[in-house]
Structure 1
Amino acid sequence: MAGNNHGHTPAAWTGVTIAFIGFCVAGAFMVMAQPLGFWAGMVIVVLGGVVGVAMRAMGLGQPKQAHSVTTQAPAATREPVGAES
């Protein structure tokens, strides 16, 4: 997984951040024994997923590839960083 950009997009970061906030809200209200607040937190979690998918549809996510094979050349055949052509 270190060789790709899985999850390093604005869509992924935004969706996960919103979902994390929702989990924190739900957890806090669960401890306070407030069911309405817990379910509000769960709605925020779902909203994070919806926002992530919407942002991906707007082009802010990982571009789709034709196949799952890494398109990057092996390290031995790549040019060194800073090599001039």
Structure 2
Amino acid sequence: MTNPIADPGHGHSPAAWTAVVIMLLGVAIGTFAFFMAYEVIVWASAGLVVVGLLVGWIMAKVGYGVNGPKYNPKGH
């Protein structure tokens, strides 16, 4: 019996990893800036999270997403 629900790929792609790393840096910098009360840096780091989303989306559209032609999955 086959599973009717297809595997979405779990995001193991250069596009996903790049987006997550950029957004993680944004959150880490923003957390530190919030703790130190640097309001401008908090907002800049929020912008960095948005940039991470855009970079991941653009990389997926260019072909580095899970089903993209430039994505080369590695065996586990």
Task: Please give the TM-score of this superposition, normalised by the length of structure 2.
Answer: 0.76
Cα deviations across residues 4-47 of structure 1 (Å, max 9, x unaligned)?
63110000000000000000111010000111010011011110
Provide the alpha-carbon RMSD of the alignment. Answer: 1.5
- The answer to whether the aligner puts 1:12 opposite 2:22 as a matched pair is no
Between the two proteins, the alignment pairs up a number of residues equal to 62
Identity among equivalent pairs (%): 37
Q: Which amino acid aligns with 1:59?
A: G
**Distance in 2 between residues matched to 1:63 and 1:14, nearest whole Å:** 16
Amino acid at match of 1:63: N
Q: How many Å separate the matches in 2 of 1:4 and 1:12?
A: 13
> Where does the alignment leave 5 or more consecutive residues of structure 2 unmatched?
1-6, 69-76
1:73-84 equivalence runs, <5 A: none
1:19 partner letter: M
